[in-house]
Structures are given as structure tokens and as C-alpha cells.
Amino acid sequence: MTGPTGSSNSHDRQLEDPNTLRELVLNIPEGIYITTQEGVVVDANPAMLELLGFETLEDLQRQTVPELCLDQERLKEQHQLLTRDGLVRDFELEIRRADGATRTVLDTCYLVRDPEIKSERLYGILIDITQRKEVELRLRSLLVRDPLTGCYNRRYLEDLESKLDPNGSALGAIVVDVDHFKRYNDQYGHAAGDAILVKLARFLTRHARAEDAVIRIGGDEFLVVLRGESVEVTKEVAQRFSKLAASTAPVPISLGWAVRNPGETVDGTVRRADQGLIQIRLEERRSMQRRSRSGEFPNPA
């Protein structure tokens, strides 16, 4: 530091004092560490021990960095960056504490050549961002969830579109909606209509496979997305939904399905599934008219 006249004041240069730096390292709330390139812990400050859930440095030294990290591929990526640049800033990692709990951390570290042992060591600092990540995930969940039913919403479809290979990535789409929902709303009120939508969402979620996504795409219309599935599997799942709906769905429903063609957008696949639903309803209506004319049941008119 310099005084008002610009001259150096040795009393102000406290960061050059080893005792000052030691006090800083011991009291800083972020975890500071030194490891070998192989991940053996050489030293760590108290905050590092607390972050990782170890009582003593000796306890921590019984573990290696690869044993603490949950994603080994992510750790390899970090080492590649270190080898290339000698420095990594704010690298996100998932780690496991001594008690088994997980933490999300940002790791900033750099390679230092140790002249005494003629080897390189990693000097780094870990910042615990677990709570921040949890808040981010909750906010993201709010963005992609329908507030009434808890199903995914159209934003989920937009995210899905961005992750798909434009010319590949098979995907099955089953469109489901409530028969005569407007009439039901008019007769019983919107609150009753909302309650039916919630029950239908539960029905679809309960009978969907764990890997499938149930989405409310508008009004009384829902979509079940089957990622990576063929025509045969999508048809089989659609038929299973239809069979279950006849006996256990809260209200009568209709459904149509389609499987994504190469190069087709997700919206395009959904539109084709919706067209299939419309076609099924038209066929059912024509069938009812034929049966009415044949005298199988009275004409409602």
C-alpha cells in the first residue's frame, strides 16, 4: 500500500506478514485446501473440514478427492482444464460429506510447482452453493410446472426441444383431453372443472411410466411424452391408457398419439397426435350416428 504522498508504508503491508495470512486462512468461511495432483489432501483450513464434515485434518486425509466427488467424469474435465490452463475458476462440483450428505460447491484452484519436492500441487478454495442451487431448482420448477395440476407446462416442451437432436431423438407423444369439458364447466362451474383436471392429472401421472413426462398443454388438454420410444411402444402405452381410462379415469377422455419423424419439431409431433385425437372423435361420432339410425339406442335429438 502507499501513503497519501505515494511512498510505501511498510506498516500497511500486512498481507506480506505470514501471521496475517495464516489468520486469514484459519478464519475465512470458505474452504481452502492443498492437494497433490492425484487428489491426496496435504492441508486444509477449518472451514474446509466443516464443509466436508470431518473432525480433523487426519480424518480428511484418509479420503482422496476422487472419493469425495460424485461425478468422476466432471472431475476428469476439471483436471483437463487444469492441465491445459493451470487454473480453473468457479468449477461446479457435487461432493459427498463424511455423513453421506451431498453439497454443491464452486471450486477455484491452480497448479503450483513445489520446489522442495519438485512436484505440482493444487491450491484451491471451495464455496458452498448448495442453498443457492436449491433455490434455483425451486424457481426453475415453478417455471416449468402448471400451478393447478402440478404437471409440466409448455416451457418444459421448449426446454425439451432444445435438447433433442434435430435429425434423431425418437419421441412418442400421446395427447389426452376431457370429453365435453366445456359442457361440464358450464353445468357444474369452473371450480368443479378445475377439480376434475387435478384428478385427471393424478390419473395420468399414476399410470405413466417413471421416465415419461406428463404435461398440461392448455385447458383440458394434456400430453404424455415418451422419450426415445418407437411407434410400437407408443401405441402400446396409448392403448393401455385408453383401457384404464374406461374403468378408472375420473371423466371420459379421448386420446391420440404420434411418434416424431426425423427433423420434425416437438410441436409438429404434438399437432399430429392432436389430429389423431380429432380423427378418433370424428369416427366415434359417425359410429354413434350410424348406431342411432339403426335403432341400437334412441337419438338424443
168-179 per-position pLDDT tens digit: 678 899 999 998
Please tell me whether residue 110 adopts helix, strand or coil conformation. Answer: strand
Q: Name the burial class of residue 295, with classes exposed (0-12), middle (13-18) and buried (19+) by CB atoms within 10 angstroms of its CB.
A: exposed
Query: How far is Cα 46 from Cα 214, in angstroms, rounded to an integer?
Result: 46
Is 169 strand, coil or helix?
coil
Structure confidence by residue, pLDDT tens digits, 97-110: 999 999 999 999 99
* Inter-residue long-range contacts of 199-204, CB under 8 Å, 24+ positions, other chains counted: 199/250, 199/251, 200/149, 200/176, 200/249, 200/250, 200/251, 200/253, 201/149, 201/150, 201/151, 203/244, 203/245, 203/248, 203/249, 203/250, 204/151, 204/176, 204/241
268 half-sphere exposure, CB direction, 13 A CA radius? 8
Q: What is the pLDDT of residue 56?
A: 95
What DSSP state is assigned to residue 260? P
Tell me, what's the pLDDT at 9?
Answer: 54
Give yes or no for a contact between 106 and 90, defined as CB atoms under 8 angstroms apart.
Answer: yes
Q: Evaluate the CA torsion angle 287, 293, 297, 300 in order and state its sign.
A: positive
Parts of the chain with a pLDDT under 70: 1-16, 117, 141-142, 168, 284-301
List strand residue ranges (DSSP E) for the chain, in order: 31-36, 41-44, 87-96, 102-114, 119-128, 171-178, 213-218, 221-227, 253-259
The domains found in the chain, sorted by start residue, are 10-133 (3.30.450.20), 145-294 (3.30.70.270)
DSSP string over 126-142: EEE-HHHHHHHHHHHHH
Phi-psi category of residue 229: left, alpha or beta, with phi > 0 → left and psi -120 to 50 → alpha: beta
User: How far out from the chain centre does Cα 35 lie?
Assistant: 32
